[in-house]
Amino acid sequence: MKNIALKSIFYLVGIVVIAFGISLTIKADLGAGAWDALNVGLTESFGLTVGNWVIIIGALLIVSNALIAKERPDVLAVITILILGKVIDFWLLGVLNTVTFSTFWEQLVILLSGIVAIAIGVALYLQSKFSLNPVDGFMVALQKRFGFSLTLSKTLTEAFALVGALILGGPIGFGTLVILIGIGPAIQYFDTKAQWAMNKLLS
């Protein structure tokens, strides 16, 4: 029981922190991550909130991932996208709605803070071993179906979102490159810390 409760806490806190980090990278206005830029582009082109597009795109990916991997849809991933989408809207439309950053250095600090927050959030939510974010599931589905390495699969999924964001006029820029380069090492760094914390609390 303690095990499940602790994993649930890591999962929920992780998603809230991921949503906060995503919101910071968007508000920094230097260029968001490919998938986040796609969601912003969809919002600007068709309306609805960024969080709602996170949910819609996530639902489409759950279905497509199942088709690609020839497996049953990961229905539990719906919980992940619902929480993530709603919390992103909470940060963007609520807490950070009127916040702006006027200088490049302020924007850069916010962007880097967002990357760190996303990395911490991902590291926490991964410890739960619950359903993957459908974007990560997309990467795994390609790897399973076509035998690609995870690196190639991740590159392909990011390229897919990047092209979509560019077509829709999403915020692609300097920050997108910084996120692409920095997010992997940052997640790796915090993952070891999160594993240690999880094991310490379970012992």
Domain limits, the chain? 1-202
- Residue 159 burial (CB count, 10 A): 11
Residue 2, pLDDT score: 67
Residue 83, pLDDT score: 92
Q: What is the pLDDT along the chain (203 residues), one digit of tens a residue?
A: 668 888 888 899 999 999 999 999 999 999 998 999 999 999 999 989 999 999 999 999 999 988 888 888 888 888 899 999 999 999 999 888 888 888 999 999 999 999 999 989 988 888 887 777 888 888 878 888 888 776 788 788 888 899 999 999 999 999 998 888 888 788 788 888 888 888 888 77
Residue 140, pLDDT score: 79
* pTM, entire model: 0.87
